[in-house]
Every structure is written in C-alpha cells, then in structure tokens.
Copies of this chain bind each other. A is one copy, B any other.
Amino acid sequence: MKLVTAIVRPDKLNEIRNALESYGVQGLTVSAANGYGRQRGHTEVYRGAEYTVDLLPKARLEILVSNEWVDDIVDVIIATANTGRAGDGKVWVTTVDEVVRVRTGERAEAAI
C-alpha cells in the first residue's frame, strides 16, 4: 500500500479530483497548506497577480492507493496539475504498513 501526497495549486484541485475519479480513485483527503519552492526572491503568479514568492496557498492531497496503481495515479496528478509555470507543485510517495476502514475493520487493499 502506498500514500501519494501532492502539493498543488488550489485552483487546480477540482480538475485533479475529477481526473482521479475518472481514473477510478474512490477516496481522498484534502487539507490547506502554504509553501514555497525554489524561487525565493523570484516571482510566482497567484490569482493573476505577481508575488515575490513567500508562503503561497497550496492544496495538500493525500491518496491511499494499492502498489499497482501508484505510478498511474502520480501521472494523472502531474498531467492535470501542470501549467508549465513555477509553483505547479510537488508529488511524493511513501510506503504504508497498514490501512483500516473504520466502519468495517477491513484492512489492506480491501480498505481503500
């Protein structure tokens, strides 16, 4: 089991969610975050205005997926989140030891 975490532009969230659902992703968790990347002192565009990159609003997505789907799901996120401009985001993958569905107690693949 893997956990895919993605930091993306907030205004890309709906498009990413729709693409993930089309692919077959049946659940995800979103939280609000702020961040910056390599452009310290340079600029990033947010809602049409240029900012000296400080902490800009980002959406943080978490998606539990089975090992066999992880590469495709990362590709779906990148393809949808990409605008070609600085600040598009970062995606990372970690290994999960165990997952449980609270309602049923199901574990592993059956839990996602």
Q: Which residues of A contact B (CB under 8 A)?
A: 1-3, 6-8, 21, 26-38, 40, 55, 58, 60, 64, 74, 77-78, 81-103, 105, 111-112
Q: B74–A98 contact, CB under 8 A?
A: yes
B3, B38, B60: the one contacting A29 at CB < 8 Å is B60
Q: A29-B60, A37-B27 are in contact. Are A103 and B91 (CB under 8 A)?
A: no
| A105 and B90 contact, Cβ closer than 8 Å, known pairs A2-B97, A40-B21, A97-B95 | no
Instruction: Return chain B residues, CB-CB under 8 Å to A98.
Output: 74, 92-93
Q: How many copies does the complex hold?
A: 3
| A33–B40 CB distance below 8 A | no
Q: Is the CB of A92 within 8 A of B103?
A: no
Tell me whether B31 and A27 are in contact (CB under 8 A): no
28 pairs from A and B in contact (CB 8 Å cutoff)? A3-B94, A6-B102, A8-B102, A26-B38, A26-B40, A29-B35, A30-B34, A30-B55, A31-B31, A31-B34, A32-B32, A64-B92, A78-B102, A81-B102, A82-B103, A83-B103, A85-B103, A88-B102, A89-B103, A90-B102, A91-B99, A92-B96, A92-B99, A93-B99, A94-B94, A94-B97, A95-B95, A95-B97
